[in-house]
Structure 1
Amino acid sequence: MQLVVARIGRAHGIKGEVTVEVRTDEPELRLAPGAVLATDPASAGPLTIATGRVHSGRLLLRFEGVTDRNGAEALRNTLLIADVDPAELPEGEDEYYDHQLIDLDVVTADGAEVGRITEISHLPTQDLFIVERPDGSEVMIPFVEEIVTEIDLAEQRAVIDPPPGLIDDRAEIASSRDESGESGESGGDEA
C-alpha cells in the first residue's frame, strides 16, 4: 500500500535542500536517510533521501543526485510516497493510519447511524473525519477523544459522542448579553 508521507516545499539554500510538509506521524521512520520514496508526479522519482535535519522548526531534506538550488526547486510540490505493508500498525495504542479509518461506519453511543468516513483532513490543531451521511450530505467530526470515544477496527466502526449541534440542529446557543437589555451605562451628565 502506498501512503503520502510528505510534500516538497521551497528550496532551502544553494546545496539542494528542500523544506517538506510532513504528512506522517512517523517522520523519523518514513523520512530517514536512505529511504527510497516514490513520487507524484512519478517522473520526479523515485527519490532517495541523502540527509535530513530540522532547521527553525522545519524538516529539511536533501536527495541523492540533487546538488543545487535549481534541482531542488524543480521538485517543489512533489508528493513523497512510501510503500507500507497494509498489515503494519502504528506504534502507539490509540494511533491509526488513514487507510484504517477510511470507510468505517460512524455511529453514536446509542447506535444511531451517522454515516461513513470518506476522508481524513489533517489540520494543524487536530484531525477531522469527513463523514458522508446517508442522505449524501457531509459532516465534519473532530477526531478528539472527547467526541470519538471508540475505534473498533474489527467491527469497522467509529463510535462518537457528539456535542449538541455537531451532527444535528439542536445547538444550544448561549448569549453573553444581559437578558434585560440594559447596558449598565448612565445616559446623562450629572454635575
Structure 2
Amino acid sequence: MDAQNPSTDTVVVGRIGRPHGVRGEATVEVRTDDPGKRFRPGAVLRTVPAERGPLTVAGARWHREVLLLAFEGYDSRETVETLRDTLLEVPLADLPALEDPDDFYDHQLVGLAARLTDGTPLGEVAAVRHEGADLLVVDRGEAGELLVPFVTAIVPTVDVPGGFVVVDPPEGLLDL
C-alpha cells in the first residue's frame, strides 16, 4: 500500500532519513507494504524535490527493523546526508492491479472521510502506517490524530468511490 502524492501521478513509497555508517547507506521510512519490490537493487525512484533524482537503488538491507538503502553515485555519509528528507516515489501506472477487492493502496484510503457506524463524522484518513499492523491515521481536527487498526472487525466498510470508511471502534479506542 503506497501513499499517493496529491500533486502528481505518483505514489510515495518512502522518505530518506539520516545516513547510516560511513559507506553511503541511508535509513528509510518505509511507506509501502512491499519494500522488497519497491526498493530492490536496480529500482529507479522519482524524488521530491525532483532535483535530487531520480535515484537508482544500489543495495538494500534490513538492520534490525530499519531499512537501509544505498544509491548509485552516493557512496559516503556526506553525500547521503544531502538526500535527507527526500521523498521516494513510483508512478501510479507502475502499480499492479489489486486482485483482492478487500486490498487497497494507501493512496486510495488517504483523504477518505471516516465515520462511525451510526454515520457520526470521525475525521479524515490522513495517512496509513505499516508498523507491524496496518493503521489508519484519522485526523480529528482539534481532537488530534486517532490510530485505527485497519482490520475488518474495526473498519468493516471501505467505500473508495463513495469517499468514506466506516469505523466500528472497540471500547476505549476513541478515548486514546
**Structure 2 letter corresponding to 1:144:** F
Give 2:92's match in structure 1, choosing from 61, 84, 104: 84
| Map of 2:26 onto structure 1 | 18
Q: Is 1:73 aligned with 2:77?
A: no
Partners of 1:83 and 1:130 in 2: CA distance: 25
> Cα 1:47–1:160, aligned 2, differ >3 Å: closer, same or farther?
same
8 Å contact from structure 2 (residues 113, 125) kept in 1: no
- Between structures 1 and 2, the one with greater strand share: 2
**Structure 2 letter corresponding to 1:25:** D
Map Cα deviations across residues 31-57 of structure 1 (whole Å, 9 max, x no partner): 111111111222211111111112233
Partners of 1:69 and 1:86 in 2: CA distance: 31
8 Å contact from structure 1 (residues 89, 97) kept in 2: no
8 Å contact from structure 1 (residues 103, 116) kept in 2: no
TM-score calculated relative to the size of structure 2:
0.73
- Between structures 1 and 2, the one with greater helix share: 2
> For 1:148, what is the secondary structure of its paired residue?
coil
| Map of 2:49 onto structure 1 | 41
Query: What is the aligned-residue identity percentage?
Result: 40
Aligned length: 165
8 Å contact from structure 2 (residues 114, 138) kept in 1: no
> For 2:90, what is the secondary structure of its paired residue?
strand
Q: Which has the higher contact order (CA 8 A, sep 6+)?
A: 2
> For 1:140, what is the secondary structure of its paired residue?
strand
> For 2:108, what is the secondary structure of its paired residue?
helix
Give 1:58's match in structure 2, choosing from 56, 66, 69: 66
Equivalent positions of 1:127-146 (< 5 A) are 127-131=135-139, 140=146, 142-145=148-151, 146=153
| Map of 1:28 onto structure 2 | 36
Map Cα deviations across residues 139-189 of structure 1 (whole Å, 9 max, x no partner): 73614333211213344332222346766xxx8xxxxxxxxxxxxxxxxxx
Give 2:126's match in structure 1, choosing from 88, 110, 119: 119
Partners of 1:105 and 1:73 in 2: CA distance: 37
Partners of 1:78 and 1:153 in 2: CA distance: 29
TM-score calculated relative to the size of structure 1:
0.68
Q: Is 1:151 aligned with 2:155?
A: no
8 Å contact from structure 1 (residues 101, 117) kept in 2: no
| Ranges in structure 2 where 5+ consecutive residues have no aligned partner | 1-8
Q: Is 1:100 aligned with 2:108?
A: yes
